[in-house]
Amino acid sequence: MTELLPNHMAGRWQTGTGAGAMLFDPVLGTELVRVDATGLDLAAAFAFARQTGGAALRALSCAQRGQMLSAVVKVLQSHRDAYYEIATANSGTVKNDSAVDIDGGIFTLGHYAKMGQGLGEQRHLLDGEPAGLGKDPLFQSQHVLVPTRGVALFINAFNFPGWGLWEKAAPALLSGVPVIIKPATATAWLTQRMVKDVVDAGVLPAGALSVICGSSNGLLDQLQPFDVLSFTGSADTAELIRSHPAVTRRSVRVNIEADSLNSAWLLPGASAEAVDLLVKEVAREMTVKSGQKCTAIRRVLVPEQQAAEIAAALSASLAKTTVGNPRHEAVRMGALVSRAQLLAVQQGLALLKSQAQVLHDGATHALVDADPAVACCVGPTLLGLQDAAASDAADLVHAHEVFGPVATLVPYRDSAHALELIRRGQGSLVSSLYGQDPVALGRAALELADSHGRVHIITPDVAALHTGHGNVMPQSLHGGPGRAGGGGGGEELGGARALHFYHRRAAIQASTAVLSQLTPAA
């Protein structure tokens, strides 16, 4: 019988009492491990994290928490080979795609480790400068940020079991807030293994990091007013979370990252080099992790008169992508994570095909070292709209996200039309712009800033320097308003901004002598 992965909660490893859910290899179809959380004492787990884990973390200075994160980085680095094996088996990713998840998570941890050490011996943060409250400057107001005395519950998506854990946990732990992680069941193995290695190494206080695999039933019921919740997943689930009594009655602070119809926009008058950069980036974003990225490009906006040229270039680039078993050295794109995900992509494609034509058919890609009847593989598919008028009429293209290697070419008339079409996504995580005119690009970026968490501008002068449309860097904001934030707006990372979600702001009104004691020692 396959191994049942234990959960770590209340300071110890515990297995569920049910049969559990089976995790599969999406290429070979073989059974891997099982996960289960049936019968666990969730109330005790949350209480232990709040009381034991939270107290221990708050007792540490920011520098000490940073050193703690550095120790976590070393533990994870020592087990990288095992993580790559798990990612190949459970997520079906080629090595480069696994690196985005595994090494990306470790890099983010390292970033916040350095930040913590730079913050020094303080246990709280100052928010702005003191403000006078009257004519006499003796009595003033100073805003401070202190760690919330609760737990951070993370309910994560299947596509980034490594990075998705650490990009949330790093700022939470640095803030002094204990973490309970609920990974998506389909790819929970990597998350559980990373947590196990860190816990077994003893580099975190007891109760600082917990993992619960399997069903999420009952988790939200445990949340109390000073807890925080971060969710990554579908807009439908986000709606359920926002309507839960923990949020509506107990006012639990929530951060949500949901569906996002991200766009790439080639501005009018772009040079041939800018066009090449667009083609290269769209093809890369369509195929990295088989398009299973919340930041992947879904809509490609191009001037109407250039649509045929760009369609041909993109199709030629995608045709070179080898698809199949990620263990084969010739394969450049692996599998979708499960049969359920494969079915969802097939259904989504059928929906979009009712309004768009196929420019490059993913079905033309013969699978390498993989059985089409078993493997959850699908080739990259480029759809296209006939003209600018069709771009207006194709409502599904601007409303339905296919979470796989699928993008749609969207012709536009002029810049005003392109902006209107992009905004029909109702809020996105990222839009990338391509051109060479700094004035036009800067103006376009500000026009899109209110409906996007990030605007990524790629010009010929930064062709070898930019970090990529879909790559989430810890220094920049990750999240988005509207649809991308599950209706409430989502924000993660962004350097020190990520710490604010885990802190409570208060104004302390006192004499300057008292307020001077709030300033961290040098």
* 294 catalytic per annotation: yes
Boundaries of every domain in the chain:
3-258+488-518, 263-473
Select from 3.40.50.1000, 3.40.1190.20, 3.40.309.10, 3.40.50.740 the CATH code of 263-473. Answer: 3.40.309.10
Band (pLDDT 50/70/90 cuts) for residue 235 is confident
Q: Looking at the DSSP assignment, which residues form a beta bridge with residue 147?
A: 503
Question: With 70 as the cut, is the pLDDT of residue 240 above it?
Answer: yes
CA distance readout (Å), 295 to 205, 266, 442, 468? 34, 18, 21, 10
Mean pLDDT of 372-388: 97
Question: How many CB atoms within 10 Å of residue 345?
Answer: 23
Q: What is the pLDDT of residue 522?
A: 43
Please report where in the chains the tokens 């993989």 appear, as a residue: 370
pLDDT in tens, 410-442: 999 999 999 999 999 999 999 999 999 999 999
In CATH terms, the fold of domain 3-258+488-518 is: Aldehyde Dehydrogenase; Chain A, domain 1 (3.40.605)
Catalytic residue among 213, 294, 376, 377: 294
Question: How many CB atoms within 10 Å of residue 16?
Answer: 22
Band (pLDDT 50/70/90 cuts) for residue 139 is very high
Cα torsion 139, 141, 146, 150: sign: positive
Band (pLDDT 50/70/90 cuts) for residue 521 is low
% of the chain exceeding 70 in pLDDT = 99
C-alpha R_g of the chain: 24
pLDDT in tens, 72-104: 999 999 999 999 999 999 999 999 999 999 999
Q: What is the pLDDT of residue 259?
A: 85
Question: With 80 as the cut, is the pLDDT of residue 520 above it?
Answer: no
* 376 catalytic per annotation: no
